[in-house]
Chains A and B, each alone.
Chain A
């Protein structure tokens, strides 16, 4: 019974000691961060606390806490010493006292005081014969601007008005708007699915494949928008390595499933295989 009571007291002492050390460490951290005046800490008191609880520590983390407290205490004593040193230097002055002195002085007095402590830098900004000669040599070697900045000869062309056809030729404008083009592709997809498709879907390659590789790439590009904007959806069968495209009856309708991206590569070789009727 007595042993149990002793053990209980020991536990309570340890808990109390840990709390006190932790509080001391927190305070010392505040001082190290310059948020608390270093002289608010009673060093003797801290040493007394550390000494008081030291016999109770037997676990590594408890000894660690004790060591941490000592370490922070050393830092705080260093800070106190620096503070005293700073205050004792002749450059330290009470800001309020100095501010008072500054406001008391008139402009002339202030200037006269300053002149006694001011030793302006002496410097010359004068041309010397040597720098003059150097500058002349540099000037001689300098290539004229018209030679340095010579522009390539460009044939002069009279300004005029470009026609819509010319802009389409130069690929600046398209011959139809993008949405109109998508609508056209959507109609084509529905038609193809009806004629060549099975179960309301069409093989992806049979849909995008065209006579030329360029045209095929263009169809792939438009198809990606058809799928993104909800005109069509893709069915991917990974095990069979097959991809089908299905037109949706209501374009733009929200899909029941979570949207996800499907990367599809179309190389020139795979297009050639498709043209030869081989499975890509």
Chain B
């Protein structure tokens, strides 16, 4: 790549960073067509470069397509209609979650709500979700929390009080990973404790051999 071309890319990456990090509309994120307008038609390449820059910082450029299921080979039109965000690449520690303003109760409530809606094929009655949350959260908090999740864009509610996943869940939550974690966490934990027990047993054996020696 020539120096001039590199310079042009650097300028575009800078511009893309500004657009993606600073909120331009009521909702965060930038539409593909906006990026095309500002950075030219090679904006997907610019975003790839930016993504590489963000990797060491544990951040990533996330693409959320208009359709629920991401196309295997997105067309120019798919990308133009998609919304791009900068999100955390890895995951947060519980302590860090507190630092960004989430109480454990609220976050657990959000996790339960999202998991439940996913399990109901993306639509669940608010009353059912309230009942589920009410088992472990104070009654007065349940409604407030649900309203907060709706306000933030994690959920949306229709006139019939049915809850659906909204744009923020699609941008921030790896739905498949969440369900897998829920279903297989016990298996994982059991496997981990099994490994731990066998390691301890080996250590004991070694210690016994040494003392014998």
Contact = CB atoms under 8 A, between A and B. Distances in A.
B94 to A, nearest CB: 6
Given A98-B115, A98-B183, A117-B173, A125 B92 contact: no
Interface in A56-113: 90-91, 93, 95, 97-99, 101-103, 105-113
A98 B87 contact: no
Given A102-B132, A103-B135, A119 B91 contact: yes
A98 B179 CA distance: 8
B76 interface: no
A102 B178 contact: no
B165 to A, nearest CB: 12
Q: Which of B88, B111, B112 has the most chain A CB atoms closer than 10 A to its own CB?
A: B111
Contacts of A103: 132, 135
Contact of A118 (B22, B23, B60, B91): B91
B178 A114 contact: yes
Interface in B157-187: 168, 171-183, 185
B142 to A, nearest CB: 13
B100 A120 contact: yes
Interface in B84-125: 85-94, 97, 100, 104-105, 107-108, 110-112, 114-116, 118-120
Interface residues of B, number: 51
A121 B168 CA distance: 8
A93 to B, nearest CB: 6
A279 interface: no
Interface of A is mostly: helix
Interface of B is mostly: helix
A95 B90 CA distance: 28
How big is chain A's contact interface, by range? 20 to 34
Nearest to A113: B181
B174 A102 contact: no
A117 B93 CA distance: 12
A105 B178 CA distance: 14
Contacts of B175: 91, 117
B53 interface: no
A155 interface: no
A253 interface: no
A90 B87 CA distance: 24
18 contacts: A93-B118, A93-B183, A98-B183, A99-B132, A107-B108, A107-B136, A111-B94, A114-B107, A114-B108, A116-B91, A117-B173, A119-B60, A119-B174, A120-B88, A121-B86, A121-B171, A122-B86, A124-B23
